[in-house]
Structure 1
Amino acid sequence: MELRRLRYFVATAEAGTVSGAATRLHLTQPGLSRQLRRLERLTIGAPTVTLTDVVAPFIATLAPDDPTTDVLGADGLSPADTLRQGADLAVGTIPASAPFHAMPLAVLPVWAYVPADHPWAGRERVRLAELLPEPLILLPPAFTARQAWESAVRGFPHEGIEAANGTVAQALAAAGRGIAIASDDPRFGLVPLAVETDGRDLSIRLRAVWDSRHAAATTIEGFAARLGRFVRDRYDAPAA
């Protein structure tokens, strides 16, 4: 965060109002408001699939007076590492501890993707036991969809080929190489099936994490809350 921006944010927080901060900084209130809008820049860090399917569509809904939003790819990074890399807000599935604050965003499904001409294509869900004998296309171990899958199948024999990411996994499924297990949005005309295991659907929990000591922590918290509402509306998903 540049020093001038930090000074404006701190003065506004200490004064409690923009008008009070403007007096302290010897600026007009409209002038300070314009400076705050111009200087506000918020960087969201997230895994590539989350940036593509969640963060980018959210950015497209922002208004002109919202913070200018950048993104930071954070594949394989913890929330703490993502924030240390320069993000103001980290979005992912890994929990965080103090001094970082976490906000649950949504529970999102891990899908079994089949082609439209697959015998299961007319169904809404498939049982885990039905999937295990099938040829599967899995993501690398660092992906949370893969981790959720491995947790569900622990102790059960299963095999699968590994794809570099969810897009490639779905491409292979579209080519008839197997059933893709991923949390990405559907591509290539594939049909998503919920995976039922132990009476519930296989899922991941999306969280937003930021540093509670950040000078703009209140602004970031409000932004995270808006992101959560967007995700839940977009996917008709429950809160995490």
Structure 2
Amino acid sequence: MELRQLEYFVAVAEERSFTRAAERVHISQSGVSAQIRRLERELGAELFDRSARVATLTPAGEAALGHARAALAATGALGQAVGEVSGLIRGRLTVGMVTGCTITPLFDALAAFRTAHPGVELTLLEDASDRLVEEVRGGEVDLALVGTATAPEGLESLTIISERLVAAVPPGHPLTERDRITLRELEGRTIVCMPRGTGLRTVFDRACAARGLRPAVALQAGAADAIADLAARGLGVAVLSESMAERYRDRLTALVIADARDPALLALIWREGPSPAVREALRCCRRAFDVTTG
């Protein structure tokens, strides 16, 4: 019994046609028929009822189909395992990143991964952090860089950045004379912030709710650049993380929000028991972000 015989047998069973099966496995119909006849002789039973136009499995064929599929799957797994040991990672890797991401070490990591493993089909997509978390849980995304308030339950995570929130205002704003502000003082001001579903907004909303406050988030944008531009034009007080605000220090002054003590996190997330491709991508990310723990 040969693996190609099992492959042809499964192809005919799934296509319900010797002709279409031959096209699928790229050999002649006579070659498929001959190999299946040989398999039937070895098993001592006919696998297909050939009396009709459609190739139909006999009871013996029905009994054999699951085992044939399992044997082919086991062979594929064997090849994958050997490939992993040899460093020949293959397959697909879908990476997600929070909308508006400008974290260049992630791009450095992806470039290093592609160079080391050109056989992996790499896909990159943007989405809101809350949706990316669910897409990782559901297996649609293998690895994602998200903003979050806490490590998502049921997933593995590696924190890249952990920092406090700040309020940022343009030159000439009354608050520029200060170096800190409270959430209650922000309540009566127009706020420019990221939309719900982002990690930064979740941290801000939770801090406000814990004190019974409801600041007016009148302007929302998914990218830090847009938030900074709106605040620089005097349209509101921007709520950003410390490193975000630092990028705009030429046009915005950052004030520590004294009573927003819980940090906003930027983290890589993935499911337990990661594939070889995910493990290798994580290695590249740790190196690019210079993270040696987690």
TM-score class, shorter-chain normalisation, is 0.5 to 0.7
Task: Kindly report which structure 2 residues correspond to 1:128-139, keeping only aligned pairs within 5 A, or say none.
Answer: 128-139=183-194
Larger deviation: 142-151 or 67-76?
67-76
Residue 179 of structure 1, CA deviation: 0.6
Distance in 2 separating the partners of 1:168 and 1:45: 21
| Structure richer in helix, relative to its length | 2
More deviation, 185-194/169-178:
185-194
Report what 1:27 is aligned to: none
1:146 paired to 2:201: yes
Question: Any conservation in 2 of the 1:45–1:83 contact (CA below 8 Å)?
Answer: no
Which of residues 102, 123, 142 is equivalent to 1:88?
Answer: 142
Equivalent residue pairs, number: 206
Contact 1:102–1:209, Cα closer than 8 Å, also in 2: yes
CA drift at 1:225: 2.7
Q: Distance in 2 between matches of 1:139 and 1:86?
A: 25
The residue that corresponds to 1:74 in the other structure is: 127
Distance 1:40 1:82, change over 3 A: same
Letter matched to residue 90 of structure 1: A
**Residue in structure 1 matching 2:264, options 184, 196, 204:** 204
d(CA) in 2 for partners of 1:146 and 1:96? Answer: 16
280, 284, 287: which one aligns with 1:219 = 280
Equivalent residue, structure 1, for 2:213: 156
- Looking at structure 2, the residues matched to 208 and 223 of structure 1 have their Cα atoms a distance apart, in angstroms, of 12
CA distance in 1, matches of 2:250, 2:156: 38
- SS of the residue corresponding to residue 77 of structure 1 reads helix
Tell me the C-alpha RMSD between the 2 structures: 3.8
Per the normalisation by structure 2, the TM-score is 0.55
Q: Which amino acid counterpart does residue 53 of structure 1 have in structure 2?
A: T
> Residue 236 of structure 2 is aligned with which of 178, 202, 205?
178
1:6-54 residue CA offsets vs partner (Å, 9 max, x unmatched):
77652244xxx42xxxxxxxxxxxxxx6xx37x57643212113xx222
Superposed structure 1 runs of 4+ greater than 6 Å apart? none
**Bigger radius of gyration among the two:** 2
Moved more, 187-196 or 144-153: 187-196
Q: Does structure 2 retain, via aligned residues, the 8 Å contact 1:144–1:204?
A: yes
Matches within 5 A, 1:105-116: 105-116=160-171
User: By how many angstroms is 1:124 displaced?
Assistant: 4.9
Corresponding residue for 2:102? Answer: 53
